Structures are given as C-alpha cells and as structure tokens.
Amino acid sequence: MVLEGKTALITGGSRGIGRAISELYYQEGATLIIMARNEQKLKEACAQIDKEHQGRVHPIACDVGNKDSIAAAFEQIKAQGLTIDILVNCAGINIREPLETFSLESWNKVMDVNLTGAFLITQACFEFMKDKGGKIVNIASLMSEIARPTIAAYTASKGGIKMFTRAIAIEWAKYNIQANAIVPGYIATEMNTALIEDEKFNKFICDRTPQGRWGKPEEVAAAALFFATPGANFITGQVLAVDGGILASL
C-alpha cells in the first residue's frame, strides 16, 4: 500500500495502459480521479476498479483536447474537495495520414489531445502540488525516439511530451515536484487487437522486439508506480523505456 493517503489523477485511465495504471494505483491504496471522454464507459470502468465500493475512485468526464472541458473538470475536482498528489498524463490519440497530405485539422486534433492537453492538465495540477510537492508521470511513446510513416503528428506530439517532461522537471524541482516519462513499446491493449491478430504485423513486432513478444499493460503500470513512490524522490526528468529492448537494438 505504498500510495495510501495519496490521490492520483489519471487521464485516459478507463482503458488500456491508463486502466492498468489505475488498477495498480488503487491496489496500492491511492484515491483515484480518472478522466476520460466517454462518460458511460468511464463510470463502468470506475465501478469495476472500485469493486469493493470503498469510494476511492472518482470519475470525471473530460475531453483533454478541449480547454473548456478541462476547466470544467477541475471545477468538479475542487467542488468535491479532492486534492492531487500524483498526475499521470496518459490520454492520447493517433491519426494516420501520409505526411504530404496530412491535414491541419488532423494535426491540430492530435496536438490538442496529446501535447496541449497534457500541458493544460499539468498546469492545472500545479495549484494542488506547489506547496506540498508531487509526482508527474507522462506516458510518452517509442515515437518520442524513433519514427514510422503516416503518423507525423503523433510522433511530433510524443517527442514534445518527452521534452515537456524535462521542462517540468527542471522548472518545478524547487517545489519538490518530480516529473518523469515512460516510453511504452508495443503493448497488448484492446486498441492493438487488430494489429496483434494481423499475422504479418504481429511477426514483425515480435521479431523487432528482442524479448520476442508484446508487452503487457501491467508492465508499464509497474514503472508508473515506481515513479509515484518515495523511492523515486531523487529521480526527475528521466525517460524510461518499457519496450522489451527495441530502443537498445539495431
């Protein structure tokens, strides 16, 4: 119960990697504020996480790509008398288009959710952390370090998340706020089901990953837990790959 007495805000926490982080933080005693766009699915996920009905999970519907939605969400947090000790920026989207025809609309949509949204959420959390310290965990991507065709906006946004993490770390260190990022490799989430079932692509990923398999959401969650604990109090501005060795290999 290393997070007992702490409250964590997790964006995109109702499914995939965010859901795994939410579940592990809950198991370790944290009170959760979980944000997601789909209110119905969000409430269902929160009920499943808080299956013992301890009242430690608070759903807040929010589109992190919309500044007004973010402002309204934080008004709800304040109205409920909640605090924030840990922030996990996990919400993200991807749009695939060839670079030469990538529309400005698609570019802005990806940036608004993946980068600007993380900036606005982080900035809003400062009020809760400035006097007592805090932990910020940003979910970056392999595309923070390497690139693939047709995802220029996603790649740029996740590269931005890496450097935004370092900017937070050096600027807010004086407030005892630590910020670190996680670079997940190819993780077996429901969003990747079609890719896993694609025999050719699945073989490509397993061959490209030194450990020869897809990662598990709970393996990313374990890293997010470490960064949220006192054991990481002197670690800030770091980017940790949970990728089965992809970035270490040719």
Residue 197 lies in a domain: no
> What CATH number is associated with residue 116?
3.40.50.720
What is the identity of the amino acid at 206?
C
Q: How far is CA 245 from CA 132, 138, 142, 248, in A?
A: 36, 20, 11, 5
Residue 150 lies in a domain: yes
Residue 89 lies in a domain: yes
- Which pLDDT score, from 0 to 100, does residue 116 have? 98
Q: How far apart, in whole angstroms, are the C-alpha atoms of residue 191 and residue 85? A: 29
> Sign of the C-alpha dihedral, residues 12, 17, 19, 22?
negative
Residue 180 lies in a domain: yes
State the total domains in the chain.
Answer: 1
**Digit-coded pLDDT (tens) for 192-241:** 999 999 999 999 999 999 999 999 999 999 999 999 999 999 999 999 99
Residue 184 lies in a domain: yes
Residue 193 lies in a domain: no
Residue 199 lies in a domain: no
DSSP label at 59? E
What is the identity of the amino acid at 215?
G
Q: Is 183 helix (H, G, I), strand (E, B) or coil?
A: strand
- Which pLDDT score, from 0 to 100, does residue 81 have? 98
Q: What are phi and psi of 178, to 5 degrees?
A: -105, 135
Question: Could you please report the per-residue DSSP string of 119-139?
Answer: HHHHHHHHHHHTTT-EEEEEE
Structural domain range at position 142:
7-188+220-242
Low-confidence residues in the chain, pLDDT < 70: none
Residue 163 lies in a domain: yes
Q: Of 163, 145, 42, 150, whose CA–CA distance to 91 is shortest?
A: 42
The set of catalytic residues is: 154
- Which pLDDT score, from 0 to 100, does residue 191 have? 86
- What residues have CB less than 8 Å from 217, skipping those under 6 apart? 16, 17, 19, 20, 187, 188, 189
